[in-house]
Structure 1
Amino acid sequence: MRTEKGREQVQQRIERFVQGQNPIVAGENRVHFISAQAALDAILRGDEDEYFNAFQNFTQSIEKFLTFDSGRVKIKHSISQINRVLEKCLDGLYKSNGTLDGKIQISEAEKQKILEKIGEASGRDVRIHLLADQLIKLVFEQIAESWDEWREGLSDRIAQKSQYWNSEHSPVFSQDKLIRDYTNQFIRDLSTEIDEWGNAKLKEVILQENLKYLDTSIASELDAIQGEFNSIDQNIQTNFSKQLKISISGINDDFTGMGGFGGGVGIGGALAAGLIVFTGLGFIAVIVASVAAAIAGSFGLVMLDFDGIKDQIKGKVFELGFQKFDESMDKIFEKLNEIVNSVFENRVESASRVIAQAIALYENLLEQQEKAHNETLEQREAEKMWIYQKRQELEQIQNQLEIILNKCSIV
């Protein structure tokens, strides 16, 4: 800021934004208005003016934060993590105590129902896997059709782009370098074409449509399981539905993209990087040698103008480049197979993990009940006493952590 008025306006705007009705930060010395240049000038002159003092306050605030505040933040974070573990342990102890008190009472008929629910859950997992297999097969059929359509016009598109290939090297005196430049431009244009097809057709159309159908089917199966656990909670006072709901919510991230191929370079970029197997130095060397030999054998360089020679070289690069590209089809479809299977398996495995947890909860419920029925009264009382003691110990630790946290806040 060059003027005092400008500095005041900026300062007022920032203070309204940061410390207004809904403040972003709280506490003193959190916002500093400094001028490094003005502060440096003051230091060099030996003056303790407003710029020098403002900069000194800023550095002191940083020192204080690094010395005191950052430590408190780390302590609070660690205590919060420990508290989450303690809460989980306490929750498990309360459930165990409830089982011992006979709160979970399931008749033989209800046990049979739970066994049936385990079978139903396994069946839902099988249906999801079968549907994914069917969709993968359909995706490859659609890919083959789309690829053939894309490949049909590829030569014309690359030929059009080849008109704009250029190089500073002479077709006579530095022919190898000229061929290398044209080869790199061929690879660049082909990579762009593959990238565009991979993103516009494969990702945005073929995969998106089929994954949407799979996601909807998975959601329907998991919702049905969730409904069963809601009913169990109401009948026998458990919180299994809440545990399962958290797991179902946790797989949403798996369903928002294309797995490892959804971000970064994208599916098209992965294809372009992984499928053009001849883009290395070895391929370029082969093209340079092949083109040079073909050009030398087909005409005398003195007989043509430079532009004519360049066109001949472009034509040979174009011809040999597509020959190598067509020879790499096995590698191309190997990469496509990796991409398609990865994005589908990502979703299927996520759903399977949730279903496996649901089955484990069913089995845990049966185990708890069986244990409760088979234990003697003496055994139950001894275990209840142990649970009570452990619960007290954990609660005492929580209280101690609360004291530590309060001391950190005061300091």
Structure 2
Amino acid sequence: MYNAENVWLSKPRIAEAAKEEIWEQLGDISGRSIRIRNLANQWREDAVKQAKKYWNERIDYSREKWFFDSKRKLKEGIGWGEKDGFIKEIPPKTNSLLVEIDKIIKAKLSKVYEEITQINLELMHQYIKLLDQQEKIKYGKQIVLIFSDIGAKLSKPTEHLPKSVTSLKTIIRIEIKALVGNGWGDIYWEDVVKFKDNISSNIEKFITAIFDDRVELTIQALEQAIAFYNYFLERQDRYQQETPEQREAEKAWIDQQRRELDRVQKGLEAILNTD
């Protein structure tokens, strides 16, 4: 009964809402969704290229320092003192790689984040407030949760990993162990190349997984916003078509149901108060 009356009271608010403004919001959100879809692949590919370039440059530096002899001839491998010096340089290089990748992903995803922050959520909440109480709670929570989740995951992409993604730090630790795990043997250049390529491959997988996940979540958020406005417009069209007679008949039915409910409740109270 309460909800029926609440819906009845919401109808004039929804019917009188500014339709043109809603259509403007729909156009804006749809445009941003299309723009993200069209540009996401390029942003992701740019991020992968930058990260791989940074990593290749770190390895190229190590090759120049440790794997060329005095005659500028590439050594097959290194051992003893050279090996120790090379190994000591690996953690700082991989740590700087992780920092750089985090910066690269954030920079590229900032373009997605910018599209999200341009959406007028305050205006959307104003339209949500026009709904009946039940729908107001439903859409209010839905919009707040999905957009706050997107904000967190776009601003801290490497802290909130998709469930199926292993941290790059863990993968690098495994690759380092495979490279330097043989404490007595030499480190061969071909093993360093394999180490470089394995990490490079995982860099691409890592960035791609994060980027695709964030873009998909963003598209879903935009689709939720579009779905809300379409729902609102559908309700508005329906309510605008109702005649004053229909509204009066609905109000009379609500009043009748309330009287019936009051009668039943009083009857129950009388029974309970009987000795």
Whether TM-score is above 0.5 comes out as yes
1:10-409 equivalent positions in 2, closer than 5 A = 96-99=7-10, 101-106=11-16, 110-155=18-63, 156=65, 162-163=80-81, 189=87, 193=90, 196-201=92-97, 203-212=98-107, 214-215=109-110, 218-219=113-114, 221-230=116-125, 232=127, 244-254=143-153, 255-258=155-158, 259-260=160-161, 266-273=167-174, 279=178, 314=185, 317-319=186-188, 322-327=189-194, 331-374=198-241, 377=246, 381=250, 385=254
Higher relative contact order (CA 8 A, sep 6+): 2
Q: Distance in 2 between matches of 1:164 and 1:209?
A: 32
Contact 1:150–1:197 (Cα < 8 Å) also in 2: yes
Change (3 A) 1:154 1:253: same
CA contact (8 A) 1:229 1:241 kept: no
- Deviation string 1:123-142 (CA, Å, 9 cap, x unpaired) is 11222344443332222232
Q: Give the direction of change, closer, same or farther, for the CA distance of 1:198–1:134 in structure 2 (3 Å limit).
A: farther
Amino acid at match of 1:256: K
Please list the CA deviations of residues 225-272 of structure 1 after superposition, one character each: whole Å capped at 9, or x if unmatched: 3144256468x578567763443223343232413289x984233234
Structure 1 residues 265 and 333, CA gap change in structure 2 (3 angstroms): closer
Identity over aligned pairs, percent: 18
Per-residue displacement from partner, 1:340-366 (whole Å, max 9, x unpaired)? 112222332332232122111101101
Structure 1 distance, partners of 2:92, 2:213, is 24
Taking a change above 3 Å as real, the CA distance of residues 366 and 102 of structure 1, as seen in their structure-2 partners, is same
CA contact (8 A) 2:125 2:140 kept: yes
Q: What per-residue deviation string (whole Å, max 9, x for no partner) do you get for residues 265-318 of structure 1?
A: 842332343x57x949xxx9xx9xxxxxxxxxxxxxxxxxxxxxx9xx73xx42
What are structure 1's unaligned runs of at least 5 residues?
1-89, 167-185, 288-309, 397-411
Q: 2:119 & 2:147 partners in 1: Cα distance?
A: 12
Q: 1:136 to 1:162 in 2, by over 3 A?
A: farther
Question: What is the rounded CA distance, in whole Å, between the counterparts of 1:383 and 1:266 in structure 2?
Answer: 63
- The whole-number CA distance in structure 2 between the counterparts of 1:210 and 1:246 is 23
Matched residue type, 1:147: W
Q: 1:121 offset after TM fit, Å? A: 0.7
Give the conservation status (yes or no) of the 8 Å contact 2:36–2:112: yes
Q: CA RMSD in A?
A: 4.7
Q: Is the 8 A contact 1:125 1:352 kept in 2?
A: yes
1:165 and 1:383 map into 2 onto residues whose CA distance is: 90
Deviation by residue 1:69-118 (Cα, 9 ceiling, x = unmatched) = xxxxxxxxxxxxxxxxxxxxx8x76763334x4332147xx435433422
Q: 1:370 to 1:135 in 2, by over 3 A?
A: same
Provide TM-score, normalisation by structure 2: 0.62
> What is the deviation of 1:204?
1.7
Query: How far has the Cα of 1:205 moved from its partner?
Result: 2.4
Q: Is the 8 A contact 2:33 2:219 kept in 1?
A: yes
Measured at CA, do residues 118 and 94 of structure 1 come closer, stay the same or move farther in structure 2, by a change above 3 Å? farther
Q: 1:326 to 1:205 in 2, by over 3 A?
A: closer
Question: 2:200 is aligned with what amino acid?
Answer: F
1:16-62: CA deviation from partner (whole Å, max 9, x where unpaired): xxxxxxxxxxxxxxxxxxxxxxxxxxxxxxxxxxxxxxxxxxxxxxx
The offset of 1:326, in angstroms, is 2.4
Number of residue pairs aligned between Structure 1 and Structure 2: 236
Q: Distance in 2 between matches of 1:331 and 1:367?
A: 53
Unaligned runs of at least 5 residues, structure 2:
68-76, 266-275
| Structure number with larger C-alpha Rg | 1
